[in-house]
């Protein structure tokens, strides 16, 4: 069941270029003791994979710009299912499983999270817990750099567990002249952009 104190909303879909793909951002409304707060981001308990990806096929890199423009993020199937149910309740759209890979041994789902990397764009920050044994109320974090910087250091090229902060958008395939709507038989693809990571340390997930 979705929490009635949380609602996912989407802006009106707009067409990308001259094709048939339509795009819209999601925002999130939280009812905090009667006050409604609208935020552009969502936080999830995740693992972010900063290990190098040097996979080649026939001499060509398969995972281009890994750690610079995108990373793998692992989350529980239950978490992803909850996100999909919130999207359905708030926007009416069913969410496609395209772009996700389920690992039955770990009961985790892998998604590709984009990252801002160009000049003038805020790159995602990594914050590390100062005291891993502190209580949740006393937990504090210090910034150690951007994801791109941190992933370049061998000592940090591990899988980090913590809370990922994401902006979320949706893409829907439709016609070039007809805006798609829920119930037309189309599913929405969710696109996650990593904004910040607060990590408690490395893990093997």
pTM given for the model: 0.89
201 vs 135: which has the higher pLDDT: 201
Nearest to 167 by CA among 13, 18, 2, 28: 28
Residue 68's pLDDT band, with cuts at 50, 70 and 90, is very high
pLDDT reading at 54 higher than 80: no
Tokens standing for residue 82: 């909850």
Sign of the alpha-carbon torsion through 131, 135, 136, 139: negative
Q: Which residue has the tokens 């093997």?
A: 204
Q: For 120-170, what is each residue's pLDDT tens digit?
A: 889 999 999 988 777 777 889 999 999 999 999 999 999 999 999 999 999
Residue 58's pLDDT band, with cuts at 50, 70 and 90, is low
CA end-to-end span of the chain, whole Å? Answer: 26
Residue 61's pLDDT band, with cuts at 50, 70 and 90, is low
| Burial 15-33, CB ≥16 within 10 A → b, else e | beeeeeebebbbbbeeeee
d(CA 130, CA 183): 48
What integer pLDDT is reported at residue 128 of this predicted model?
93
Q: Which residue has the tokens 């999270």?
A: 113
Half-sphere exposure of 158 (CA within 13 A, CB side): 12
Tokens standing for residue 86: 């919130």
Tokens standing for residue 3: 């929490």
d(CA 60, CA 82): 37
Q: For 71-114, what is each residue's pLDDT tens digit?
A: 999 999 999 999 999 999 999 999 999 889 998 877 899 999 99
Residue 64's pLDDT band, with cuts at 50, 70 and 90, is confident
Residue 156 DSSP label? G
Q: For 8-48, what is each residue's pLDDT tens digit?
A: 998 788 987 788 899 999 999 998 888 889 999 999 999 99
d(CA 153, CA 125): 15
Calculate ∠ Cα 134-158-71, nearest 5°. Answer: 105
């Amino acid at each position: 069941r979705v929490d009635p104190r949380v609602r996912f909303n989407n802006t009106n879909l707009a067409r990308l270029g001259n094709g048939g793909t339509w795009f819209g951002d999601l925002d999130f409304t939280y009812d905090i003791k009667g006050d409604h707060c609208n935020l552009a981001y969502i936080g999830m308990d995740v693992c972010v994979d900063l290990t190098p990806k040097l996979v080649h096929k026939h001499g060509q890199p398969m995972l281009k710009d890994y750690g610079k423009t995108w990373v793998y993020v692992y989350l529980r199937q239950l978490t992803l299912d909850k996100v999909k149910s919130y999207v359905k309740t708030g926007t009416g759209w069913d969410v496609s499983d395209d772009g996700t890979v389920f690992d039955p041994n770990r009961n985790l789902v892998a998604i590709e999270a984009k990252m801002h990397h160009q000049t003038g764009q805020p790159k995602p920050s990594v914050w590390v817990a100062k005291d891993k044994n502190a209580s949740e109320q006393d937990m504090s974090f210090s910034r150690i750099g951007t994801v791109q910087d941190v992933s370049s250091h061998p000592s940090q090229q591990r899988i980090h567990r913590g809370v990922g902060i994401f902006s979320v958008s949706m893409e829907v395939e439709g016609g070039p002249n007809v805006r798609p709507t829920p119930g037309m038989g189309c599913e929405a693809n969710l696109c996650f952009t990593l904004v910040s990571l607060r990590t408690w340390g490395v893990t093997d997930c």
